[in-house]
């Protein structure tokens, strides 16, 4: 029996995917797996029994990834599960920036003059006139699950779309419309596009990527949309560009005190993935990742260990080893098994930065003594035998 604990409310649609092999527990110290959304885990102490954490969403800044890796705890996220919900909000953001829909609605709601509002509307509506999206140039920086959907949808709206991502995956490339212009650099997008939307993770070279220098490359009256991470944008530089009217509108899903009520901004209260469908999809993917890892040892969509898949475990034993990425680890593992006369029927080894993962299928029963010997190999972080 595997035990799981939910740190946040998780969609029941996902929880119902757990089979009878799984039991919910109130005490997190008893859990083999933790499901989490936004709860901060940085101050949590992890019991040795904990094997996996699944984040029902994409961002993992609430999880101590390095500490988890050192303790042999695999951390998953659910990329793409909420992509459609974010895509739709990005499109809404572009429409609100193109036409002063928000200002018009607020005017109608606050109208209290004696003149009939319908008559007053005909006089006032010019103040909220805007432009259409068709024919405008949109730059999409980051062509992952969300960026591809945004690019394709914008192209279908008649926009001229430029996409840039030096690390675009083969899968994303196949999904990208042939009508998308492949920009050679982010600078090309900065220089030619009327609308710019960013969909990249927060990494050392992307934090603050929209700043005074990149803003200087952009067209006058550019619209910038940020539904990815708040720290991708230098807020101080954005505020200055708004004051100088370099930017026509800044649309973001990340409210701050400085942006609140600022002219030229559309600030949304972090609603990108806040749809029933997104929450259901994230929960279902997170549960599937947990089950595949606990039952088969397979890793898919991990953020601190390499992905590794040997399919459904057969009738024999499967040894899974989380370890440091250092030379001769495989030789030591196979050597120990050879000394015990154990035949290896299937083996996989993957590495990611400082860490690696090895899966070994053997035909014989793996004793506690063999497992102990493997765990004592220098650099091994956690050993598990799935029987």
Using one digit for the tens of pLDDT, what is the confidence trace for 59-100? Answer: 898 999 999 999 999 999 999 999 999 999 999 999 999 999
Mean pLDDT of the chain: 95
Is residue 197 classed as helix, strand or coil in its secondary structure?
strand
Q: pTM score, two decimals?
A: 0.82
Pair 85, 280: CB distance under 8 Å: no
Tokens of 114: 């004696």
Where b means 16+ CB within 10 Å and e means fewer, 247-279 reads bbbbbbbbeeeebeeeebbbbbeeebbebeebb
Provide the β-strand partners of residue 382: 322
Residue position matching structure tokens 């595949």: 292
Task: Please tell me the distance from the alpha carbon of residue 194 to that of residue 137, in angstroms, as a whole number.
Answer: 5
Q: State the Cα–Cα distance between residues 45 and 163, nearest whole angstrom.
A: 42
What pLDDT is stored for residue 203 in this prediction? 86
pLDDT tens figures, 1-22: 999 999 999 999 999 999 999 9
Distance of CA 128 to the CA centre of its chain: 35
Task: Tell me the sheet residues that pair with 355.
Answer: 324, 352
pLDDT of residue 170: 80
> In this predicted model, what pLDDT tens digit does every residue of 258-287 receive, in sequence order?
999 999 999 999 999 899 999 999 999 999
C-alpha closest to that of 200 among 180, 229, 177, 171:
229
Report pLDDT for 53.
Answer: 98
How does pLDDT run across 195-231, given as a tens digit for each residue? Answer: 999 999 888 999 999 999 999 999 999 999 999 999 9
C-alpha distances (whole Å) from 348 to each of 18, 102, 326, 381 are 27, 55, 16, 17
The CA distances from residue 221 to 135, 149, 154, 192, 347, in Å, are 16, 25, 19, 12, 57
């Amino acid at each position: 029996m595997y035990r799981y604990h939910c740190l946040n409310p998780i969609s029941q649609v996902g929880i119902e995917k757990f089979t009878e092999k799984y039991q919910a527990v109130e005490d997190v110290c008893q859990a083999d797996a933790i499901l989490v959304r936004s709860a901060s885990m940085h101050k949590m102490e992890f019991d040795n029994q904990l094997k996996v954490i699944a984040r029902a969403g994409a961002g993992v800044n609430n999880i101590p990834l390095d500490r988890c890796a050192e303790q042999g705890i695999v951390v998953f996220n659910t990329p793409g599960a909420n992509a459609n919900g974010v895509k739709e909000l990005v499109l809404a953001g572009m429409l609100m920036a193109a036409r002063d829909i928000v200002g018009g609605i607020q005017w109608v709601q606050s109208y209290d003059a004696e003149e009939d509002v319908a008559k007053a509307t005909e006089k006032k509506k010019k103040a909220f006139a805007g432009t259409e999206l068709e024919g405008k140039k949109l730059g999409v920086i980051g062509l992952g699950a969300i960026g591809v959907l945004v690019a394709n949808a914008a192209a279908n709206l008649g926009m001229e779309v430029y996409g840039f991502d030096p690390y675009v995956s083969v899968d994303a490339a196949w999904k990208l419309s042939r009508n998308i212009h492949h920009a050679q650099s982010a600078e090309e997008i900065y220089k030619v596009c009327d609308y710019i939307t960013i969909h990249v993770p927060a990494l050392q070279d992307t934090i603050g990527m929209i700043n005074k220098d990149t803003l200087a490359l952009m067209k006058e009256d550019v619209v910038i949309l940020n539904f990815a991470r708040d720290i991708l944008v230098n807020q101080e530089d954005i505020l200055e560009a708004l004051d100088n009217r370099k930017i026509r509108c800044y649309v973001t899903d990340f409210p701050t005190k400085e942006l609140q009520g600022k002219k030229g901004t559309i600030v949304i209260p972090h609603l990108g993935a806040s749809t029933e469908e997104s929450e259901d999809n994230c929960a279902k993917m997170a549960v599937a990742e947990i089950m595949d890892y606990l039952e088969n040892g397979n890793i898919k969509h991990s953020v601190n260990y390499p992905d590794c898949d040997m399919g459904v475990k057969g009738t024999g034993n499967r040894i899974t080893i989380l370890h440091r990425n250092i030379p001769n680890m495989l030789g030591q593992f196979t050597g120990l098994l050879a000394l015990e006369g154990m035949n290896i029927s299937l083996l996989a080894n993957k590495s990611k930065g400082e860490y690696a993962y090895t899966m070994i299928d053997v035909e014989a029963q793996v004793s506690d003594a063999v497992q102990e010997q493997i765990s004592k190999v220098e650099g091994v972080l956690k050993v598990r035998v799935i029987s």
